[in-house]
Structure 1
Amino acid sequence: MSKRQLHLGAILTGVGTDQQEWLHPEIPGNASIDIDWYKQQARAAEAARFDFVFIVDSPYITPDSAPHFLNRLEPLTLLSALAGATDKIGLVATLTTSYTEPFNVARQFASLDHISQGRAGWNVVTTGLEGAAGNFGLEQHIDHGERYRRAREHVQVVQGLWDSYEDDAFPRDKAHKQFLDPAKQHRLDHRGEFFSVTGPLNISRSAQGQPVIFQAGISESGRRLAADIAEGIFAGVDNFEDAREYYADIKRRAAEAGRDPALVLLFPGITPIIADTDEQAQALQRQRDGELDLNKALVQLGRPFSYHDFKQYDLDAPFPELGELGSNGYRGHAERIKRVASEQGLTLRETALRFARPFSGFAGSALTVANEIERWFLEGAVDGFNIHVGAPSEFARFTDEVLPILRERGLFRSEYQASTLRGHLGIDVPHNRHSETHAPLRVAS
């Protein structure tokens, strides 16, 4: 085994976050609300020794949203069920900081961390969908800059609450009738720009100290936040050069923030297409591209622009000038769409189809896909990948054909060496800020 190991997450999305995947004959039409389906996929990922499974989420839909968004389980409820169906694999969920309160979030994730014995992770998002405001009593979506300031404070409060009890706060001494050492319970008494939280939280730290923090920002604000708080980053990139630039930028920012860049791990999401030969995989990719529904692609294109209606434009004219549209939504994604369309001179039709396709840089035989994964890993573009799980047979081709090649090269584990998510990722257990003596950080197990 080489010293540096590849890390892998499995994105579980039920019937799929694109418009077409639910049509696959292997995917039940109700997969997004079928707990048995999720258990099967989580167990398959655990059998393959993945680091974690990941559940995406967002708080707003329209009738045109992709099937998975229209009807799906709440992530923390889902992951609590998966905790009882698995033993080692990490459990990561998306939860917004813009429309939640830190005390509730701290309690929910701490509970999942105890239920799973130290396998929880939180993907911190600020919510790019402007329509979400109406679901939480607001007339307007929170401004982009304000959302990121709020997110930073939100995470600080949550992490402070997770340290409400020192690790030895509960002697549970029945002989002396002492359950709690009150000197080791700590109020937070936070008063900030967005939150006033007294504390303490009514749950202790877990086997991994605190849940792992993930983030996925690609805008300037998102990159700053990711570099400052995240231990794992779900980078949105679609080519090697952009991935390497993003990787170097985040590592540099993390170092400037006084953090160890090696402990800030980047995981782009990919959808491998694996066949017996490269030619067959490329033919399958072309077939899927040809099956794209243009109307649905236009809806999907509109999502990062707060579901802007692109059907009003000439499809074969250049991508329209949108001004600041998207700047208060998924800004990083919206900016990338505008940039790519401009640099490549794409029409609106071409842009919609271009961004409706899953990232297709990993299509080929198992050997070709393994070689490309190794190249990205060794040449400074990633620390691992988030693998989209769709049809079980397609995921099985990755686990049964690609992973053995990576294991043979010493790049990926054959067995778990730890029981917690921090242990899988090689990230230290954080100190409790209230402990009297700060011993060296211990590696998670």
Structure 2
Amino acid sequence: MGVKNGLKLGFILHGVGRGWDSWRHPEAVIDGSTNIDLYVKQAKIAEKGKFDFVFVADSLHIDERSMPHYLSRFEPATILSALAMVTQHIGLVGTFSVSYTEPFNLARQFASLDKLSRGRAGWNVVTSWLEGTAANFSRDHHIGHGERYRLANEYVQVVKGLWDSYEPGAIVGDKQGGVFLKPGTLHQLNHKGEFFSVRGPLNLDRMPQGHPVLFQAGNSDDGRAFAAANADAIFSLPRNKEAAFAYRADLRERTAAAGRDPDTLFVFGGISTIVGSTREEVQRLSAERNSYASIEGALLSLGQSFNDYDFSQHDLDAPFPAVKEEWLSSSQGNVKTVLAAVEQDKLTLRETALRFGKPMDSFEGSPEEVADQLQDWFESGAVDGFMLGESLPGQFEIFVEQVVPILQARGLFRSDYSSDTLRGHLGLAVPENRYVAQRHNAAETDVARKEPANA
């Protein structure tokens, strides 16, 4: 089975935990979200398991109701650069917002990370949905949903243009000839658009991957269209296999319509696992995990997608509150999914929070049973891979030690790395530098024009 068509696995580094109450677990590391030793340990476990990448999520706004992991956590570029020094193969993916960073700075950060890691960088492109973020960046309002995605499209094109500033082999370092930079191989971008005006060139030469791998997590129509046009991979939070299959099918159709090969956009389903040796142990571990999932935490988790709305002010057993216009300018895809379920199933607020207020659903059972579920989703076309979160402290290591070998024995997952780059792990080609491509195209056109005359 080729790398491109095999099961893909990522792991989300989430410090003290993904829920509002998981920090209370006896084995939770209270400073885990800023604990370099914990991040190194988890990254090395993921690399031992031959995972494609580790992932650092991020956001730019907090308040006292935020998830404990959000309250104090590493900035992605810093921690990923540190992890690049203690790992050799695993991809390093981080979230950066296009709404509150400048393209030149971000292009330079990721080019630096790609060079530091020798080709393992990945960028999760987000537009930031929380209204409160604007106040941290000298702005009096957050830009609307549709405008955010227009900005994102332009932003990505600018960043890609900056990454192409240097042609491959531009820096020759010819000491005898006195030539450091090969003439004609460094280019200004000279971009002028709706949101950005960027001259360039980037002050960092061609990186190992050409462009870092682009990830995205949008579920709205705008988000899906953006991913189809720009992304190499997309994260989803599937609630069942049928919904996951429909989501992936829609993404593949959109990708083809955008003129791209659907096999070059990978869908990762967010999932956690509970692995036990007996049914009784699995039930005990599941109950233990559930004991750290309160209704209060579920309400906070639900409210996050609804622009940090405080649902605790409503009666839990009354019908779900009336829709507010500002909700649709937040995490629009997630909000619409929740509201559709509320309408269809006539859910109360409590029922909605318990269904949608969990960080991740889980596959549970023996190592073989968990492997069966992963294989079923993958082979049925519901996902291309999984973004794994840890359900309880220690469960990730158990997954690597007990489930991964089963996936490997079944020929679903690699037994060892065959590449040193994230693009190589995923089976993605290195993008051709645009200026080299222009010359190739011009040369081919010139040959085509001459051929009839010589016939």
Q: Shorter chain as normaliser: what TM range? A: over 0.9
CA shift for structure 1 position 345: 2.1
Q: 1:247 matched to which residue of 2?
A: 248
User: What secondary structure is seen at the aligned counterpart in 2 of 1:424?
Assistant: helix
- Partners of 2:393 and 2:81 lie apart in 1 by 22
- Determine whether 1:437 maps to 2:440: yes
Higher-Rg member (1/2): 2
- For residues 28-66 of structure 1, the C-alpha deviation after alignment (integer angstroms, 9 at most, x for no partner) is 110101111101100110011000000000000010101
Q: TM-score, with normalisation over the residues of structure 1?
A: 0.96
Q: What are the superposed Cα offsets for residues 313-371 of structure 1, whole Å, 9 maximum, x if unpaired?
A: 11111111214241111111111121222222221112122223343341111111100
Confirm whether residue 8 of structure 1 aligns to residue 9 of structure 2. Answer: yes
Deviation at 1:392, TM superposition (A): 4.8
SS of the equivalent of 2:12 reads strand
Q: CA deviation at 1:9?
A: 0.4
Mark the runs of 5 or more structure 2 residues left unpaired by the alignment.
Answer: 444-455
* RMSD value, Cα: 1.5
Tell me if structure 2 keeps the 8 A contact 1:21–1:390.
Answer: no
Q: Which residue of 1 aligns with 2:87?
A: 86
Deviations 1:206-245 (A, max 9, x none): 1111101111110010000011100011122221011000
1:23-422 equivalences under 5 Å are 23-278=24-279, 280-389=281-390, 391-422=392-423
| Conservation of the 8 A alpha-carbon contact between 2:301 and 2:358 | no
Using the aligned pairs only, state the percent identity: 51
Please give the alpha-carbon distance, in whole angstroms, between the structure 2 residues aligned to 1:136 and 1:50: 36
Q: Following TM superposition, by how much is the alpha carbon of 1:273 offset from its aligned partner in structure 2, in angstroms?
A: 1.2
Q: Which runs of 5+ in 1 are unaligned?
A: 440-445
1:178 to partner: Cα distance: 0.8
Report the residue type matching 2:361 in the other structure.
S
Aligned to 1:434, the other structure's residue is in SS state helix
Shift of 1:296: 2.6
The 1:34–1:359 alpha-carbon spacing in structure 2 relative to 1, beyond 3 Å, is: closer
Q: CA deviation at 1:393?
A: 1.8
Total equivalences in the alignment: 439
1:95-142: CA deviations, max 9, x gaps? Answer: 000111100000000000000000000000000111101111111111
2:237–2:271 Cα contact (<8 Å) kept: no
Letter of the structure 2 residue corresponding to residue 313 of structure 1: H
- Give 1:409 deviation, angstroms: 0.7
Residues 257-304 of structure 1: per-residue CA shift (max 9 Å, x gap): 111111111101111111123454245324433542222322222111
CA contact (8 A) 1:161 1:188 kept: yes
Is the contact between residue 276 and residue 366 of structure 2 (CA under 8 Å) also seen in structure 1? yes
Give the TM-score normalised by structure 2: 0.93
Quick check: 234-243 or 39-48, which moved more?
234-243
Distance in structure 1 (CA, Å) of the matches to 2:302 and 2:363: 22
CA contact (8 A) 2:273 2:390 kept: no
Structure 1 outlier segments of 4+, above 4 Å: none
Bigger mean CA offset, 328-337 vs 40-49: 328-337
- The residue type equivalent to 1:345 in the other structure is K
State the 1:22 CA deviation.
1.6
Q: Which digits, 9 at most, give the CA deviation of each residue in 1:2-25, with x for residues without a partner?
A: 672111001001012311222223
Rounded Cα–Cα distance in structure 2 between residues aligned with 1:271 and 1:398: 10
Aligned to 1:442: none
For 1:309 and 1:358, the matched residues in 2 are separated by 17
Aligned equivalents of 2:6, 2:329: Cα separation in 1: 37
CA contact (8 A) 2:273 2:391 kept: no
- Rounded Cα–Cα distance in structure 2 between residues aligned with 1:389 and 1:315: 29
User: Which amino acid counterpart does residue 56 of structure 2 have in structure 1?
Assistant: I
